[in-house]
Amino acid sequence: MREIEKNMKPKELKAYRTKLFRDAEQWKTPDRIPHYGNIVTWKVFDAGYTIDQAMQNFDIMKETVEVFLSKYPIDVLIDVGIRNQFNVTEAFGMGENGYYYYDKEVVGINDHAYCPVDRLMEYIEDKNKYAWEVALPNKIPDFYDKPMEVWKKTWDEYWKYIMFIFKMNKVTGAYGLASGAPNNPMKGTINFGVEEAESNLLGIKNLSIAARRNFDQLKEFCDAWNEKETKPIIAKILEGEDGPDMKYCFDASLIMLSQNILNPKQFNELYWCYLEPLLKAYEQKGKCPRIFTEGKIDMYADHFADFKKGSLAFHLENDDPWAIREALPNVCIIGGLTTALLGTATPDECVAYTQKLIDELGSEGGFILSEDKMLSYRNDCKAENLKAVCEFVSNYELKK
Amino acid sequence: MADEIKVEEVAEETEEKKVDWPYASYPEGYNKLLNKIMPFWARPAKKMMGALLIRVLVDG
């Protein structure tokens, strides 16, 4: 880390780091390239623990985050140990009916579905009612037989989880870590009907089938989702203040995954027609959302070509950053580091590649360094490689 | 992808279960149950915290 940053107090450092992101997004040359840490459970291994140990003990999870932040001067960390709520689902006795699972080496998720296509409209009508009366009894065979003591224990664990979130906010504050993005203006994550269908309601397999066999029902659901969920968010954005919210590095955080299983017609009619007005609202207000483009986005690059510089940032997964820069010279790129590199190369090779990324993609803004995959597995990265990259990028000043 | 995804057979349809569980309805039964498990001081935030608890159980 540079001396100037070492001497900053945590709040000052947080504000400075936030500005580095905002400068890069706005295509102004930042003092140095900011590093968005796309690091999830890898840090558990790096701290000397296994996944099950960290998932079953909040103190260990907290320690893994502190060890990580002490070793690596990352500017934003995508996960500060609060992603999984196994203590709550275990208290409820979810067992094999849970969608998430873990062992010593892995946290995983099963493809799952709790809503058939012909009940999607019932779900959107009242999500909580559907969850309580339909989804939970179907997911958990003994849902109606849970004794009150189990419910009370579940509540206690849920409260412990909420307290852990507050505790981790303090930890990250002490390290001057910048905040990624606010919740959406209506509170909660910004999501689209087709993404909700893929991740929860239908699952990947059933969505891909429904997009072909039940297109009209899916379209009706996506329209209803747009009216109920997306349009109120757009209205809030438009009636809010102009310009970036400098408490955060981005003005929103979106995840795109469904584009990978939709054909162009399906993408346009089930996704883009709702996504475009939201992105245009952010553009109109001088704001910049970060979109995690899981899988690939290059096949739909033309859709994003006419957005103003400074209004979009793509966090790339499998796309080539140089190809995206050529196709979309208006979009800030987040990414560049691959797990293949971090997991197998030498520190010198990692640093040389990082310098090439910065010199070719970021010398005039428009580039933020990050890992392509969420670092999750033990072999996703060698500690000495991440250490070398962090030391390099946190000291490599750009010429203005 | 960060998480390991196992593609398994997923439910094609759901079945309604006829029950006499006193908390089975929403919002009446659900609210009654929350009143039983939430401490008194937390009840003003029942709407938000109850909804989040449901999400944890449904999505987790």
Residue window 20-59, chain A: list those with CB within 8 Å of chain B: 40-41
Residue B35 lies inside a defined structural domain of this protein: yes
Q: What is the CA radius of gyration of chain B?
A: 16
Q: Which residue reads 């933020």 in tokens?
A: A368
The reply to whether A123 touches chain B by the CB within 8 Å rule is: no
Q: What angle do CA A245, A253, A265 make, to 5 degrees?
A: 130
The DSSP string of A121-166 is HHHHH-HHHHIIIIIHHHH-TTGGG--HHHHHHHHHHHHHHHHHHH
Sign of CA dihedral A73, A74, A75, A79: negative
Q: Is the pLDDT of residue A322 over 50?
A: yes
Range of the domain at B32: 28-59
pLDDT, one tens digit per residue, over A67-116 is 999 999 999 999 999 987 899 999 999 988 899 999 999 999 888 888 99
Residue B17 lies inside a defined structural domain of this protein: no
The reply to whether A293 touches chain B by the CB within 8 Å rule is: no
pLDDT, one tens digit per residue, over B7-60 is 444 444 445 556 789 999 999 999 999 999 999 888 888 888 888 899 899 988
CB A263 within 8 A of CB A300: no
Nearest chain B residue to A94 by CA distance is: B57
Span of A80-84, A252-256, A259-263 with lowest mean pLDDT: A80-84
Residue B2 lies inside a defined structural domain of this protein: no
Residue B55 lies inside a defined structural domain of this protein: yes
Residues of B in contact with A89 (CB under 8 A): 56-57, 60
pLDDT, one tens digit per residue, over A223-250 is 999 999 999 999 999 999 999 999 999 9
Residue B23 lies inside a defined structural domain of this protein: no
Residue B11 lies inside a defined structural domain of this protein: no
CA gap A241, A316 in Å, rounded? 29
Q: Is the pLDDT of residue A138 over 70?
A: yes
Q: How many domains does chain B have?
A: 1
